[in-house]
Amino acid sequence: MTIRDELRRFVVENFLFGQTDHLPSDAASFLEEGVIDSTGVLELVGFLEQRFGIRVQDGDLIPENLDSIDNLVAFIEGRAASAA
């Protein structure tokens, strides 16, 4: 499963109560689509840390990193590249 697929699955299972058809496009903002709120962001961060071994710093808690599937993929890949 690709990172993108795993993220989609996490969002569907945790924020959309399993409703796959409610998943917005990869570029759509979670906030604007009403997918996520402040506690959701914390859950998402926990998932990134646990699943991808990324240490998410306070300064990373911005929409540019976390607010869509596309942003998340770029964030995770960027971290993987800098760690390599």
Partner 1 sequence: MQVEDFLELSARRYPDKIALTCGATKRTYQEIDRQANCLAYTLLAHGVDRGDRVAVYLDNSVEAVVSIFAILKAGAVFLTVNPTTKADKLAFVLNNCRAKALVMPAAKLPGLQSVVAAVPSLQCVWLAGAAARGEFAPGKPVLPLSPTLERSTLPADPPPKKCIDIDLAALIYTSGSTGQPKGVMLTHLNIVSAATSITTYLENTPADRILNVLPLSFDYGLYQVLMAFKVGASVVLERSFAYPHSLIETLIRERITGLPIVPTISAILLQLDLAAYRFPDLRYITNTAAALPTEHIRRLRQLFPTVKIYSMYGLTECKRVSYLPPEQIDVRPTSVGRGMPNEEVYLVDGEGNRVGPGVVGELVVRGSHVMKGYWELPEETDRMLKPGLLPGEKVLYTGDLFRMDHEGYLYFVGRKDDIIKTRGEKVSPKEIEDVIYSLAGVAEAAVIGVPDEVLGEAIHAFVVVRQGVRLTEQEVMRHCAARLENFMVPSAVFFAPELPKTSNGKIAKKQLAGLRLEQTR
For 33, the token pair is: 């689509």
Binding-site member from 4, 9, 40, 52 for partner 1 (CB under 8 A): 40
Minimum distance from CB of 84 to partner 1 (Å)?
Answer: 25
Total binding residues for partner 1 by CB under 8 A? 22
Question: 22-37 burial, b for 16+ CB within 10 Å, e for fewer?
Answer: ebbeeeeebeebebbe
Does 66 interact with partner 1 (rule: CB under 8 A)? yes
The residue ranges that bind partner 1 (CB under 8 A) are 30-32, 34, 36-43, 45-46, 58-63, 66-67
